[in-house]
Chain A
Amino acid sequence: MEGVTSAERAAPGTVPAQGGPPPVHTETPDRPSPVLRLLFVAALFTPPRWTPRRVRYDRRYRRLDQYRFVAWFLSLPLLVYLLFVISPFVQAFFYSMTDWTGFSSSYTFTGFENYERLWNDDAFWDAARNSVLLLVAAPLITLGLGLFFAFMLSAGGRKRRDQAISGVTGSGMYKIVYFFPQVLSLAIIAVIWTRIYSPRSGILNEGLGAVGLDSWQREDWLGGDVARWCVLAVLCWSFVGFYVVLFSAAMSSIPTEVYEAALLDGAGRRVTFFRITFPLTWDTVRTGWIYMGIQALDAFALVSVMVPEHGMDVIPSYLYDKAFRDGQAGYATAIGVALFLITLVFSALMMRVGRRDRIEF
């Protein structure tokens, strides 16, 4: 306390000596002595109970206390995050320009050689074609079905006198059942569908036989060219329920007055959907689209469990094989960078294409 007052008294004395007018605010007396500064820094890294009195009763202590809290709370999450997420991401870009095998720690820098090889790698392009097919088709089908079912649940019901729209009875039950696949592990889903597609007493072939479509039965649902469509079907199957729930929530936030107005104007269900429901849920649809696209790009679990070796590849499964089977870690990270670029282009495209003025209601 004493130090501060003496400094305040000293300050007006020093300034007129320079001949200028006395400034209203003086910053100089607040500058802490080196010892105090050291104590401040020490207090930043030690528990509060060790803080010396001199620091504790300083008026800058409040800010110090905040920064100390911030530093303590942020350090551990940030450390874990930097170590296991950020540093591998950064390293990936570097290793993609080396011929690193992954078996030893030696590697040489090769510039863009891996990318050149990638450009001419037919197996990679096969995998990329499958991934892009999933990326385009899975969101279209899944979100289409999701919107259809969500609209049916919220507006497909019998018309009642006092309500502009009404949901079907038992819509809650439908949502519970539709959501089943979403809580299951993709590994479980993959195992179940492998058995469904199986040529040996799988229920798809048996079912086709039972309804007389014997000619549609196949020996190799998951081996040949149809494999990618089978994977696509499973992917859509597992996500439709998620989007039904998501879109139902979005639709229920649309005020009923809007529907009433549409009904007075003589709009049918089709018009109501395309002119009201769809535009008003567009924001949700767009974010859902990006989310589904990212899920479709990572079809690793489904492909690696369902499809036998060399049946079909998607980019992640090809990357996995290169890195952990063939010992080409450098090349594999280049594939990873390619996957990242596809994700980036897709998200940017969706953000741009789908931009509209947000409708407030």
Chain B
Amino acid sequence: MSNTRSGEAAERRADTGGGVLNVFAHSFLVLWAVLAAGPVLWVVVSSFRPHTDLVSDPFGLPTDLAWDNFSNAWTSADIGRYTLNSAIVLCGSLTGTMLLGSMAAYVLARFTFPGNRTVHLLFTGGMMFPVFLAIVPLFFVLDNFGLLNTRQGLILVYIAYSLPFTVFFLVSFFRTLPGAVQEAATLDGASHTRTFFQIMMPMARPALISVGIFNFLGQWNQFVLPRVLNVGDPDDAVLPQGLAALMVQQGYEGDWGALYAGVSMAMLPVLAVYVAFQRQVQTGLTAGAVR
């Protein structure tokens, strides 16, 4: 009996000690939560307010919902078109990255052949180089092939620059898969290609999802490459380019409401998908730093 009482007392002591720190910890955590989400919330709230209100009081809440902002951003600022452009490019580049990346990674991870180590090093070494070292020659490489300012060119470049990390990540994953399954498939008469597509790819699903999310966000948010390689027709701009252009345009026209509406439209789908799949997204993105 006395034993439990002294235990309770100790617990109470620890409680108070922890309590002070708890308040301290919580206040900092809440402060950063406000800082992280505040600007995002502010933009979303402001996107419902007309421009004149925004100028007089940037902090206010919307009095009546100004849907005009959204229709302005959608039609005049072409957010719809930019989103579509991004989606088309992503369809090609993400499929290509995942397919080519896993093909190369599988071969490098599971087969011995002369030059294996060299090729592996070549791919992973690409992670060490800053894109800006290559950007000027790359511009002219694309120009020579007639791929400058085309979607195909952008897709190919996205694939090429996503390969180093994709290959690196998938090689280490394919190496962990049991070899017995592969052997069994071969004994059953499956060709290498069939083994890869019907057995190894499904087994590698968790890694493919992680690296797929990583590549999706990286390519969807890519700013540097389209800024340099996709400058022909403003109508062909992808979403990040479009938003930068929208800011310049609305700066002249002086319609902050439409700007906020445009940013909200670009941002909310991504945030919604993120919240729905937050665990996968978090592991997918942090996988990039653990290399």
Contact = CB atoms under 8 A, between A and B. Distances in A.
Interface of A: 48, 65-67, 69-70, 73-74, 76-78, 80-81, 83-89, 91-92, 95, 102, 145, 148-149, 152-153, 156-159, 161, 168, 174-188, 190-196, 200-203, 206-207, 210, 237, 240-242, 245-246, 249, 269, 284, 287-288, 291, 294, 297-298, 300-301, 304-305, 315-316, 319-320, 323-324, 329, 332-333, 336-337, 339-340, 343-344, 347
Interface stretch (B65-73, B101-109, B171-179): B101-109
13 contacts: A86-B126, A102-B136, A156-B21, A159-B14, A185-B243, A192-B43, A201-B55, A237-B36, A297-B130, A320-B135, A323-B136, A324-B228, A337-B133
Contacts of A301: 223-224, 240
Chain A facing B: main interface SS: helix
Given A80-B156, A92-B134, A300-B224, A152 B282 contact: no
Interface in B83-140: 100-101, 103-104, 106-108, 111, 113, 119, 122-123, 126, 128-140
B1 interface: no
B22 interface: yes
Most chain B Cβ neighbours within 10 Å, of A67, A191, A284: A191
A77 B163 contact: yes
Contacts of A188: 240, 243, 263, 266-267
B68 to A, nearest CB: 19
B264 to A, nearest CB: 10
B43 A305 contact: no
Nearest to A76: B100
Most chain B Cβ neighbours within 10 Å, of A69, A195, A316: A195
B278 interface: yes
Contacts of B263: 188, 191-192
Chain B facing A: main interface SS: helix
A210 B57 CA distance: 11
B223 A186 contact: yes
B113 A178 contact: no
B18 A92 contact: no
A203 to B, nearest CB: 5
B221 interface: yes
Nearest to B266: A188
Given A76-B100, A185-B223, A157 B135 contact: no
